[in-house]
Structure 1
């Protein structure tokens, strides 16, 4: 009996550690940076490399930032738009929905369709970064229309979305410029 329980524990432990949640990089906003605020999220940009900032919408809930070769859209993206309120349909919080998508344990019939809608496949993995209650759910890859970072605090239905075309190395730089 103890050996069977150990084997089950070992098998479930492996699945947890197969896709570890990564630590968000430290924020690197210094004297040569200034912050662009989108509602209650701040994105730091270098005073030397910033080229353009566009605020979209009457309430300034979205900003487009061009810094060097990188162009990002950063915006408050309510769950009815960012995840089509799938969390409500499944009786989950936004955080639980993203974590279920990440761990692939959402108990629904059309799970592959949902993964496809988010461009998650063998070439485009969903990765997760966290620090405290802040989580960044990241989808980047070669055959994604645009790379995405979904930012969500555990216990909150607020979703911020950062979109653009960026590499894994650029991703860490982007994450290090976010204060939320």
Structure 2
């Protein structure tokens, strides 16, 4: 009996010990905020703390926002740029690629090289937040060049990327300002 329970635990240990997908925080956008729209993603900023907004490119697919000392780049970042179309090379959707990266179950010989390209290691974990079909794949840490949030809706190949230097506490504030 004990051996049977041990075998079942061993077979399911990946799902038992895997990090959970976290819930995206509720939006804090209200009358004290206004929205900056980048294509079909909105980011709300404090009317009192906004310092600067720069729209880059003729089609305004990227915005640089400075608010309360924090500088973020928010942009539509197609998968050919954001993930080098790795999802297509592996026969996956963008969502499946990110979920495979998170669960570490992409069947490829050079998986460690893929993790390294995204700065994922023992100090910089990939975490996932979701609400409905919206997912935020987050890489933050002390030894990454810049912290990143990849936003993707399940069933969509569109990727929005939020980059900057932010802490775990600031991450929750950033996530609460996104409407997509």
Could you say which TM-score interval applies, normalised by the shorter chain? over 0.9
5+ unaligned residues in a row in structure 2: which ranges? none
* Counterpart position of 2:15: 16
Give the secondary structure class of the aligned counterpart of 2:84: coil
Q: Structure 1's 126 and 74: CA in aligned 2 closer, same or farther, altered over 3 A?
A: same
Whole-Å separation in 2 of the counterparts to 1:16 and 1:152: 23
Q: Tell me the alpha carbon deviations over residues 52-83 of structure 1, each in whole angstroms, 9 at most, x when there is no partner.
A: 00000010000000001100000000000000
What displacement does 1:87 show? 0.2
Give the secondary structure class of the aligned counterpart of 1:75: strand
Q: Tell me the alpha carbon deviations over residues 29-59 of structure 1, each in whole angstroms, 9 at most, x when there is no partner.
A: 0100000000000000000000000000010
Q: Structure 1's 55 and 8: CA in aligned 2 closer, same or farther, altered over 3 A?
A: farther
Q: TM-score, normalised by structure 1?
A: 0.95
Q: Structure 1's 154 and 12: CA in aligned 2 closer, same or farther, altered over 3 A?
A: farther
Counterparts of residues 96-115 of structure 1 (less than 5 Å): 96-115=96-115
Give the secondary structure class of the aligned counterpart of 1:97: helix
Give the secondary structure class of the aligned counterpart of 1:112: helix
What displacement does 1:7 show? 4.4
* Counterpart position of 1:120: 120
Counterparts of residues 63-78 of structure 1 (less than 5 Å): 63-78=63-78
Give the secondary structure class of the aligned counterpart of 1:16: helix
* Counterpart position of 1:37: 37
CA-based RMSD of the aligned residues comes to: 1.5
What displacement does 1:15 show? 1.8
5+ unaligned residues in a row in structure 1: which ranges? none
**Segments of 4+ in structure 1 off by > 2 A?**
6-14
Whole-Å separation in 1 of the counterparts to 2:163 and 2:112: 23
Whole-Å separation in 1 of the counterparts to 2:30 and 2:163: 24
